[in-house]
Each structure stands twice: as structure tokens, then as C-alpha cells.
């Protein structure tokens, strides 16, 4: 045995070769054309012992500036939230994390039930009839909502607000380009979608009107008005939504949304350099059979015991192949479990309290900035807002690192008209002191 993961001894190998009736393992590779066989050794780094590898990677990890070393006011799609300690203990149970997709329900009831509970939690938060077992992330879920809407309505255009996360719009464009779906972007008016322009852009050829709630600039969009625009011409109403915000905001389902997507990173998933996070996809029951991804359904065994199985698989690629509604196979099951644990730990009251603390902290910080004369791109904010600074945001952030802060997102990277605008996120984890001293620093750099 030459490696701790490889149990075959020389004696084992010899016995196995004898059973196969060959003398050397190379004979098992003799069908590879001689011309292209790889000879010699891969030119990659040599193997390392457990301890020295941990030391090396630990040192690399310390080159990052993180919420462990600095106080963060950065969000923009990945947030610094409270993660209950139980979350990591549950997802570290290897019966969960070393299992495959639950194709054998009799020995996968744990995973199947956990997913069923995830589907229920998402349905509750969004006020939608059904939710699937997860998608890669919020932006790809959002993009799949567009292709699904186009398939359902047989229309080839989607209208999307520029209040949607800029990366979600970019991913949407890539997905739509492939299928010949036109993407029309609608400008903002202040920190909100310009509803007059949205109304102009949506017409009989529109498969979906797509917005974000709260939007990328943190403002709570008027879903009541947008719903009217979306449904006027029989398009679908698609809302991308932060599920934490939905524990306190009126859910999109109550405003008549047809599809709600988003990312559950806010519940129990670390930012981990942007992934893996966890997309969710919820819809009305009318759209159930067009949904992408796996669905877990309740049923019973021959003795009448309640049990869970993967269901409606005729939508999926492994059955339907080129007629499938989506090509998604792997999803984010383990992260969906992490979010389920976090949502369950917070529970009915904790989720509301956590969401409200985001709102209150953000409101406080905006008022502090206003009192110092900062110009805020204002709105009814959940936990983000944009502030105008006098210098380039990247430069200010470089300086803020030295003060122990991770500053907000440079909105100028997304749109020239937001040059020198910083998108600031204030979660429930920020203390009053942290907010006050960050405001003070910004005041100094802005002077």
C-alpha cells in the first residue's frame, strides 16, 4: 500500500491479476492507442503529508482579508450573517455529505425528508405553492426562470429591471442568448425600477417581467404595481428575492408572482469566496410540471408508512434527455440542508428578528451618514443602500483595509452613472460602535 486512500496491497494486486488472468495492470490499458498514451509523470506538484499540506494551505488562506480579520460592510449578493453553530455540525454528518442523489429511497429517507422540509420552508417564505430541491445559485435560478417562462408562454423576450443583481443579469443574458431569447433591460429611477419605462418595455411578446425584491441597491420594489405591468400582456411575473428579507416583507406570492428565485446563502452558508451558495426556485402549482431541477414528493410504502421519493422525474434530463425542461443534474443539496438547519434554528420568530435587525441597523447608518452630509441614493432599504463619495470607491476601500474595515461594493464597476457610489450592507452582526466608526472613517476619507 503506497497511499492512505489506496488500500490494495501488493499481495491483493497479485491475486486480482491472477483472477483476471493477466500479469500486469498495464494490460488493462492496452486498448488506448499507443500514439496518444501518456508516458512519464504528470508535471504537477509532488504529494504532501497531511500536516505540511495543512500548514501550506493555512498560510495561503491567511493572505485573504476576511470577516474573521476585518469588520465588513460588503454585501452585493454575498452577506456576513449569523450562522448558528449547529449548522456545521449537521452538515458534517457524513451520512449526508458522502451520499449521492437519493435515487434509492429506502436508504435515503434522511436526505429526502430534509429536502422535503427545505421545499416547505422556501414555499412558506415566498408564499408560493411549490419549491424545488435547489439550484446552483440565485443568478442561475433566475436565468432558468426566464428560459422556463419563454418555454411556457412561447414568447421570445424578457424584460428585466436594472435593479436586479448585475451578475444575475449577466448570467441571464448568457442563458437567453443560447435560446434566442431577447433581454430588454429597464433603467432605474433613483434606487427603484422606473415603472413608466417598465410599462413601455413590456408588451404582447414579453414572456416575463423580472425584478428583484429588495433590489440590488437594497430598495423594496413596489411589487403591487409591477405585477399589473407583468400580467397586463399575459407574461409571467418573476421575482428574485432575498429569502431572509421575506421573513419580514410581504412575500412575492401575495403580490401574484408566478416564479420566485433567489439564494439561500443568507441562511447558514458562509460567503466562501462566492460559492457554493444555494439557489432556490419556487413557483405556482400551475407551473410545477415545467420546473427545472429535482422535486421530492410525499408518498407511502406498502405498510402505509409515510415516505419520500424523487418525483415528477419525467421533466428531467436523465429520463427525458433532449426533451428535458433543463439540463440541471447536480444541485446544491448539502447547502440546502445547511439553510434548512439555519431556518429551523431561527424559527418563526428568530428569522423575523434577524431580518428586522438588518433593517434597523441599516436605517441607523443611513441617518448617521445623512447627518454628516453624505448624499444617499435613498429608498425603503432592507440591508443595503448606495452612498455617493467624493473619490473612487476602490481607492477608499484600499485605505479602509488598513483601518480594519471591508468597505462596500464599488457600484461604478457596474454602471458609469454610479461612479464613486459605494453599496453598503449593514447586517444584524454589525454593532453600533462598528457602524459609528465606519461612518467616521468615511467622513474623513470623503473630506
Partner 1 sequence: MLKGSSPLIFERSTEDRFAYSLPDLEVEKHELSDIIDTKFIRRTKAELPEISELDLMRHYTELSNKNHGVDSGFYPLGSCTMKYNPKINEKVARMPGFANSHPEQNDKAIQGSLEIVHDMQEHLKEITGMDEITLQPAAGAQGEWTALMMIKAFHEANGDHNRTKVIVPDSAHGTNPASAVVAGFEAVTVKSNERGLVDIDHLKTLVGDDTAAIMLTNPNTLGLFEEDILEIRDIVHEAGGKLYYDGANLNAIMAKVRPGDMGFDAVHLNLHKTFTGPHGGGGPGSGPIGVKAELAKFLPKPLVVKEGDSYRVEHNVPDSIGRVKPFYGNFGIFLRAYTYIRTMGPDGLKEVSENAVLNANYMMRRLEGTFELPYKQHCKHEFVISGSRQKKMGVRTLDMAKRLLDFGYHPPTIYFPLNVEECMMVEPTETESKETLDGFVDTLIHISKEAEEDPDIVLEAPHTTVIGRLDETQAARKPVLRFQREDIIEEKE
Where in 338-397 is the site for partner 1 (CB under 8 A)?
A: 340-341, 343-354, 356-357, 359-361, 363-364, 380-381, 394, 397
Q: Does the footprint of partner 1 cover residue 73 (CB under 8 A)?
A: no
Which one of residues 23, 189, 196, 319 is an interface residue with partner 1 (CB under 8 A)?
A: 319
Q: Does the footprint of partner 1 cover residue 196 (CB under 8 A)?
A: no
Cα–Cα distances in Å, from 206 out to 150, 233, 287, 323? 8, 7, 17, 23
Which one of residues 23, 55, 88, 189 is an interface residue with partner 1 (CB under 8 A)?
A: 88
- Minimum distance from CB of 116 to partner 1 (Å)? 7
Q: What grid cell was written down for 38?
A: 501518456
179 contacts: CB under 8 Å, gap ≥ 6: 147, 150
Cα–Cα distances in Å, from 215 out to 33, 123, 245? 56, 20, 11
> Which span sits near partner 1 by CB under 8 A: 78-86, 191-199, 200-208, 234-242?
78-86
> Which span sits near partner 1 by CB under 8 A: 61-69, 203-211, 233-241, 369-377?
61-69
How many Å apart are CA 355 and CA 348, to the nearest integer? 11
Helix (H) / strand (E) element for 409: namely: strand 409-410
Q: Does the footprint of partner 1 cover residue 328 (CB under 8 A)?
A: yes
> Which span sits near partner 1 by CB under 8 A: 107-115, 188-196, 201-209, 230-238?
107-115
How many Å apart are CA 266 and CA 309, to the nearest integer? 28
Site string for partner 1, 271-300 (x = CB under 8 A): xxxxxxxx-----xxx-x-----xxxxxxx
- Minimum distance from CB of 161 to partner 1 (Å)? 17
Write phi, then psi, for 231 (nearest 5 degrees).
-90, -10
Sites for partner 1 among residues 205-264 (CB under 8 A): 220, 223-224, 246-251
How many Å apart are CA 445 and CA 441, to the nearest integer? 6
> Which span sits near partner 1 by CB under 8 A: 190-198, 229-237, 323-331, 383-391?
323-331
β-pairing, 71-72 vs 405-406, is parallel
- Minimum distance from CB of 174 to partner 1 (Å)? 4
Query: What CA dihedral angle connects 358, 363, 365 and 369, to 10 degrees?
Result: 160
| 149 neighbors 288 (Cβ within 8 angstroms) | no
> Which span sits near partner 1 by CB under 8 A: 177-185, 186-194, 232-240, 439-447?
177-185
Question: Distance between the two ends of the chain, CA-based, in angstroms?
Answer: 67
Q: Does the footprint of partner 1 cover residue 50 (CB under 8 A)?
A: yes
Q: Does the footprint of partner 1 cover residue 147 (CB under 8 A)?
A: yes
Decide whether 189 or 200 has the Cβ nearer to partner 1. Answer: 189
- Minimum distance from CB of 244 to partner 1 (Å)? 11
Q: What grid cell was written down for 93?
A: 454528518
Amino acid at each position: 500500500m503506497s497511499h492512505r486512500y489506496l488500500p490494495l496491497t501488493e499481495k491483493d494486486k497479485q491475486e486480482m491479476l491472477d483472477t483476471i488472468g493477466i500479469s500486469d495492470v498495464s494490460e488493462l490499458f492496452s486498448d488506448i492507442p499507443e500514439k496518444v498514451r501518456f508516458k512519464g509523470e504528470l508535471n504537477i506538484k509532488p504529494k504532501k503529508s497531511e500536516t505540511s499540506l495543512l500548514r501550506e494551505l493555512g498560510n495561503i488562506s491567511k493572505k485573504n482579508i476576511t470577516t474573521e480579520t476585518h469588520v465588513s460592510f460588503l454585501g452585493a449578493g454575498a452577506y456576513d450573517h449569523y450562522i448558528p453553530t449547529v449548522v456545521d455540525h449537521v452538515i458534517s454528518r457524513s451520512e449526508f455529505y458522502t451520499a449521492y442523489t437519493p435515487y434509492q429511497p429506502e436508504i435515503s429517507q434522511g436526505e429526502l425528508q430534509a429536502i422535503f422540509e427545505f421545499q416547505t420552508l422556501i414555499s412558506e417564505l415566498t408564499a408560493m405553492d411549490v419549491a424545488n430541491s435547489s439550484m446552483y445559485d440565485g443568478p442561475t435560478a433566475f436565468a432558468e426562470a426566464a428560459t422556463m417562462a419563454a418555454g411556457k408562454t412561447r414568447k421570445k423576450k424578457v424584460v428585466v429591471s436594472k435593479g436586479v443583481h448585475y451578475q444575475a443579469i449577466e448570467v441571464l443574458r448568457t442563458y437567453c442568448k443560447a435560446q434566442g431569447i431577447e433581454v430588454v433591460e429597464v433603467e432605474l429611477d433613483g434606487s427603484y425600477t422606473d415603472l413608466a419605462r417598465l410599462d413601455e418595455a413590456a408588451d404582447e411578446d414579453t414572456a416575463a417581467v423580472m425584478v428583484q425584491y429588495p433590489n440590488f441597491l437594497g430598495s423594496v420594489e413596489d411589487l403591487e404595481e409591477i405585477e399589473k405591468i407583468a400580467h397586463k400582456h399575459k407574461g409571467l411575473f418573476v421575482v428574485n428575492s432575498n429569502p431572509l428579507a421575506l421573513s419580514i416583507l410581504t412575500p412575492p406570492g401575495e403580490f401574484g408572482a408566478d416564479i420566485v428565485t433567489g439564494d439561500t446563502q443568507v441562511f447558514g452558508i458562509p460567503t466562501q469566496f462566492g460559492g457554493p451558495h444555494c439557489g432556490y426556485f419556487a413557483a405556482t402549482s400551475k407551473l410545477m410540471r415545467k420546473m427545472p431541477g429535482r422535486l421530492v414528493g410525499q408518498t407511502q410504502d406498502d405498510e402505509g408508512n409515510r415516505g419520500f421519493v424523487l418525483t415528477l422525474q419525467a421533466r428531467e434530463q436523465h429520463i427525458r434527455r433532449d426533451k428535458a425542461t433543463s439540463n440541471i443534474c447536480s444541485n446544491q443539496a448539502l447547502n440546502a440542508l445547511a439553510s434548512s438547519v439555519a431556518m429551523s434554528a431561527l424559527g418563526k420568530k428568530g428569522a423575523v428578528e434577524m431580518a428586522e435587525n438588518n433593517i434597523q441597523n441599516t436605517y441607523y447608518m443611513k441617518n448617521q451618514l445623512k447627518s454628516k452630509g453624505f448624499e444617499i441614493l435613498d429608498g425603503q432599504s432592507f440591508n443595503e443602500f448606495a452612498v455617493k463619495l467624493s473619490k473612487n470607491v476602490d481607492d477608499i476601500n484600499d485605505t479602509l483595509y488598513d483601518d480594519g474595515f471591508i468597505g462596500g461594493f464599488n457600484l461604478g464597476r457596474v454602471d458609469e452613472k454610479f461612479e464613486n457610489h459605494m453599496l453598503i450592507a449593514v447586517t444584524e452582526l454589525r454593532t453600533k460602535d462598528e457602524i459609528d466608526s465606519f461612518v467616521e472613517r468615511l467622513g474623513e476619507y470623503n473630506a
